[in-house]
Structure 1
Amino acid sequence: MGNNPSKNSKTKRQTKPSEVEPQITISINEEKKLEYYLPNSHNDIDRLHANTFVKKEMFQGNFSVSIEEKLNKGCKVLDVCCGPGTWLLDLAAKYKKSSFYGVDIKPIFPMEIKPPHLNFIQADVSNGIPFPDNEFDFVNQETMLFIWRIDQWDFILSELVRVTRPGGYIQICEKNFSVYKDMGPVLYNILENGHYASALKRNVDMKITPRLKGKLESQLNITTVHEDEKSVVIGPNGGKIGIAMQGIYLCYMSTDATVETMSSLLGMTKKEYKHYLHNDLLKELKVTYPKHIVNRYWAQKNEN
């Protein structure tokens, strides 16, 4: 996950992957702003690992596109904003003949302990994906709902399409915050008046997920956009996967930066907010059935 929400540049890079050595400069003020949104600890990275495997369980697989045969024979795959590289590491372990690439602004991906057919590049994707046109058979992006501004999505999607080969596939997967289903008042307050309100201040719309299908459909050279929606109950009433999802939520909501932001937005002291999370919310989750809904969209790039 995680790229700096800076101003887009539509300049297309035509460098070869082996030549890419992007340089990133982040000012002190930008770095402080990023701390709330990007992983900054082992707990954050563990949360990202867990989130990837929860989605894999929900969808019964890492992808919905028809690319299994190509992966077995050997093809080229890119994960945009790959975070710690969990999705890629899982695929690379199974498909030995394919080549895998991950790109992210923050180097939390493994630098040495990784398969030889998996490569990571540090770059700010909001300025463009650092690969030439028509480079990959499969391009994936997940969990960027908290990062991309409303005005960035169209450019980002156009970049996903640009680096995909004709006949290749694009897949995006995001949490659907536009539906608060079977949610109790505590969780609703945290998400709506906390996270959603905080995101809007950055011009980030956490409820954009259902509109991403139309945005992908509007891109040039795209065939029919398919969609799949899965949900899991957060908390003990959702079984093992629900408990895992509860842990992911609590981990994200409990970081120092999040506590500072959320307590202010909700009109609480930090101590009151922590009690609200670890007492009121956990009690509520024992008697409610809130849905964690995830949407996956995918499409093929035209052959012509």
Structure 2
Amino acid sequence: MGNKNSSLRRKSIKIELDKEIDNKTTDVITEKELKYHIQNNYEAIDRAHMFHFFQRYLFQSDFSSPIEERMKRDKCKVLDIGCGPGTWLLDLANKYENSLFYGIDNNSTYPNEIKPGNLNFIKADMFDRLPFPDNEFDFVHQGLMLFIVKPYQLNSIISEMIRVTKPGGYIELLEPCNEFRRTGPILRRIYEAHTSYCLEREINMKIFSNIDNIIKSNQNTPIVYKDEKFYVLGPNGGKIGMVFQDIYIGFYSNEVMMESLSPILGISKEEYKIMIKDLIEEFKRTSPEYSLIRFWAKKN
């Protein structure tokens, strides 16, 4: 599972999770924070909120692992890794009041004050060893690592997810499928530029098609289930297609992506802005098909 050769920094810090949550943000960052190429401004936070409700509508659920009845009945411990602004956790903490929820992220975009009493956020780096004991959580969730995780890091993160999950508990990962059909030339060009940009940073987005095999390679999770939902990006995909168009255009039109991709495309920033406008028009004439996949497994 990649632990032997992993370059993840190993810390001795562990957080002992009390039965009752103190509702204060815990900070275990002791080294320089990672620099992500995704902005943490209000627009990015709004997109994260929008994406949560998009995926919930697409799957008609917040998760695919069969743990809902246990979360309603028992005091389950649930961890979300790379929780961002905490939308997924806020949603679940209000629905399942008997359970305890924890989110970790390197960037403090989650709410520090206004949150349910059964939810706690921890400022920690998912690229370090998770600061929790073995067999601590009933459900460990992670979503959308596609643009920030290197192949060796993916192996280690999944190993850590399994390590902190209780026997009989579940892990679940949400990722977009890296292959899509019926794309127009502008969309394809932007996708290829983004792929090149990621490869320059040693991030290979195609590795995510192998998530189920990485999970299976751990002796504690030999069976992996896959829940995949398809949708069309743009107006030809109906309301859900337009919601994802807003998310997609918002992501690719932000200043960070414009500065990163325009040199690879060989165009100026002004030409990049025109390309994004042309992309919106292209969506009216095409029906690019995407999918989101939830991979989930029960720990032996």
With normalisation by structure 2, the TM-score equals 0.92
CA gap of 1:133–1:82, structure 2 versus 1, over 3 A, is same
Displacement of 1:10: 4.7
Q: Is the 8 A contact 2:52 2:88 kept in 1?
A: yes
CA gap of 1:12–1:152, structure 2 versus 1, over 3 A, is farther
Q: Is the 8 A contact 2:150 2:203 kept in 1?
A: yes
Matches within 5 A, 1:61-210: 61-73=61-73, 74-177=75-178, 179-192=179-192, 194-210=193-209
Displacement of 1:53: 1.1
Q: Residue deviations 1:58-89, cap 9 Å, x none?
A: 11111111111111013110000000001111
Displacement of 1:11: 5.3
The one-letter amino acid paired with 2:32 is I
CA gap of 1:12–1:62, structure 2 versus 1, over 3 A, is farther
- Partner SS state of residue 227, structure 2: strand
Q: Is the 8 A contact 2:215 2:222 kept in 1?
A: no
- Partner SS state of residue 112, structure 1: coil
- Partner SS state of residue 140, structure 2: strand
Partners in 2 of 1:206 and 1:107 — Cα distance?
25
Partners in 2 of 1:204 and 1:80 — Cα distance?
19
Q: Residue deviations 1:202-237, cap 9 Å, x none?
A: 111112222011001101311410001111111111
- Partner SS state of residue 40, structure 2: coil
Q: Is the 8 A contact 2:16 2:133 kept in 1?
A: yes
Matching residue of 2:299? 301
- Partner SS state of residue 169, structure 1: strand
Q: Is the 8 A contact 2:65 2:172 kept in 1?
A: yes
Q: Is the 8 A contact 1:12 1:132 kept in 2?
A: no
Matching residue of 1:264? 263
Partners in 2 of 1:107 and 1:283 — Cα distance?
36
Matches within 5 A, 1:216-231: 216-231=215-230
- Partner SS state of residue 78, structure 2: strand
Partners in 2 of 1:185 and 1:296 — Cα distance?
29
Partners in 1 of 2:101 and 2:92 — Cα distance?
8
Unaligned runs of 5+ in 2: 1-5
The one-letter amino acid paired with 2:161 is L
Q: Residue deviations 1:109-154, cap 9 Å, x none?
A: 0101000000000001101111111010000000111111111111
Q: Is the 8 A contact 1:226 1:299 kept in 2?
A: yes
Partners in 2 of 1:289 and 1:133 — Cα distance?
46
Displacement of 1:293: 1.3
**Pair 1:286-2:284 in alignment:** yes
- How well do the aligned residues superpose, as a CA RMSD in angstroms? 1.7
Q: Is the 8 A contact 1:182 1:288 kept in 2?
A: yes
Q: Residue deviations 1:271-292, cap 9 Å, x none?
A: 00100002x1011100111012
The one-letter amino acid paired with 1:160 is M
Q: Is the 8 A contact 2:223 2:298 kept in 1?
A: yes
Unaligned runs of 5+ in 1: 1-5
Partners in 2 of 1:110 and 1:15 — Cα distance?
20
User: How many residues end up aligned between the 2 structures?
Assistant: 288
Partners in 2 of 1:120 and 1:15 — Cα distance?
12
Q: Is the 8 A contact 1:8 1:127 kept in 2?
A: yes
Matching residue of 1:234? 233
* Greater shift in the superposed pair: 166-175 or 207-216: 207-216
* Greater shift in the superposed pair: 113-122 or 58-67: 58-67
- Partner SS state of residue 127, structure 1: coil
Matching residue of 2:249? 250
The one-letter amino acid paired with 2:152 is D
Q: Residue deviations 1:245-298, cap 9 Å, x none?
A: 0011111111111111111110110000100002x1011100111012111100
Q: Is the 8 A contact 2:45 2:85 kept in 1?
A: yes
The one-letter amino acid paired with 2:53 is F
With normalisation by structure 1, the TM-score equals 0.91
Displacement of 1:180: 2.4
Displacement of 1:23: 2.6
Displacement of 1:52: 1.2
Matching residue of 1:3? none
